[in-house]
Chains A and B, each alone.
Chain A
């Protein structure tokens, strides 16, 4: 479990990638909320959609890497 966070004397890239994704998603959501004229429900749905797609890509990349390493 630890290797999800720390591996070979550095942070794991999935962890760093997740932090980058979450912080940039937060800034972009904030920006969209301020600039786009759309109902909050639509904004939340769009953000959730992007989040789900990103999560699927993330899981896919992890699974591919695991296959290669095994």
Chain B
């Protein structure tokens, strides 16, 4: 009886250890919830885990909350053009009279897409195959058939701007297949204004008319509404 207090302390310590080990084992190879708060977002939610959630259409609420963040941006003044999305520049090239700027977004980037230049929304078009949220058996069979095949889902926002037509293509994967456009045809948008959001793994392609001198290079990290991609916009 003399040591009952010590025994309780020991039992608490052992229970704590069992809890820590249990959490670690239950979540392995992914991080235990106990160490998640001190990890960077990329380590907290590894790619394989996020991919698994997407395929199962069951995304972790904490990741969802992180994913839906929408920070304010300091849009630079002047005639410069800004990046439309957060991510890495994958292509910055000129083809057939159009300058393409392709930005690849990772799961951990902000997925809010912004206008690269002020303008009027001329049209919003859809291209690709949509995967329904709650598919029928037949739709699911088609989905499996299309798995691993190129089935991009995209929304193309065409802006009438001072330099001509600028197109912003929002692409998502077949499995994620959800894009929200907040703008509507006829709406006048400022530079760096929110245009829409892509849900999960995605790409944003901006098409500038004519040959445009891009201030960013392949592999460079850009921020939507903040990073200047074209120093000074002039009509081609």
Interface on A for B, CB 8 Å cutoff?
8-11, 16, 19-20, 22-24, 26-27, 30-31, 34-35
Contact = CB atoms under 8 A, between A and B. Distances in A.
A24 B17 CA distance: 8
B150 interface: no
| Interface of A, helix, strand, loop or mixed by DSSP | helix
Contact of B17 (A8, A9, A20): A20
B232 interface: no
Contacts, number: 47
A27 B20 contact: yes
B7 A23 contact: no
Given A27-B20, A30-B32, A34-B43, A16 B13 contact: yes
Nearest to A21: B17
Given A16-B14, A30-B35, 12 more contacts: A9-B2, A9-B4, A10-B6, A19-B13, A19-B14, A22-B17, A23-B20, A27-B35, A30-B31, A30-B32, A31-B35, A34-B43
B21 interface: yes
B24 A27 contact: yes
A35 to B, nearest CB: 7
B43 A26 contact: no
A30 B13 CA distance: 20
11 contacts: A11-B7, A11-B10, A11-B14, A16-B10, A19-B17, A20-B17, A23-B17, A23-B20, A27-B24, A30-B24, A31-B35
Nearest to B6: A10
